[in-house]
Structure 1
Amino acid sequence: MVSSLNSPKQMTDTAYLSSENGFTVFEYCKARIRFRAPYSLERYTNVKQWDNGYLVVDAKYKHNTEPEEEYIDLAPILNDLYIDADHFLQPIKKVEVAHA
């Protein structure tokens, strides 16, 4: 689900990752992309690496007291939503957890 796409005057180099109600949420400028998260995900705790659409993150799950390393590839998700992944991801230089 996408609310709207970014406009040039609201560009920034930081995107935000969070989870809510069983979904992973990736927000950049005015775009809010939600996709189904693993059933036991409680929250994302840390973004370890950002590589033009590929994320390495720590995630806290209900079944484990310690965060686990997870991997998210946004390019296929964006392409399934008919969003030009290369164009959308190019200005993003870092990703932060919105609600750790």
Structure 2
Amino acid sequence: MELGGRTAVGIAVALVAVVGVVAAVTGGGAGTLTVERVDELPQGQGAVAFANLDPNQRATFEDAVTSGSSVQIPTEAARNEFVDPGYVRYDGGIYKTTVSS
């Protein structure tokens, strides 16, 4: 059985879509988040307020704080504030956020 050009392209597009969905469901390379409470910000550093994180980021951050271990970041976009500025103001404290692949 020989596949026509349109059929082969359709199959390739479908495979790419399936791989994208699987990657999104299994973490998609977004990495893991580790948080560590610090006494103060390093000179010249800023911190994002917890309330300014989106709901997924807040849930991920709270999971990391309460578990005391690394947690999976749900999407690639959810890692942005954890990388830059790399600090979060939360519950009266400052937390350094580290993202690992």
Structure with greater helix share of residues = 2
* Larger relative contact order (Cα-Cα within 8 Å, sequence gap ≥ 6): 2
Considering fraction of residues, name the structure with more strand: 1
| Same fold flag (TM > 0.5) | no
Which TM-score bucket, shorter chain as reference?
Answer: under 0.3
> Computing the radius of gyration over CA atoms, which structure comes out larger, 1 or 2?
2
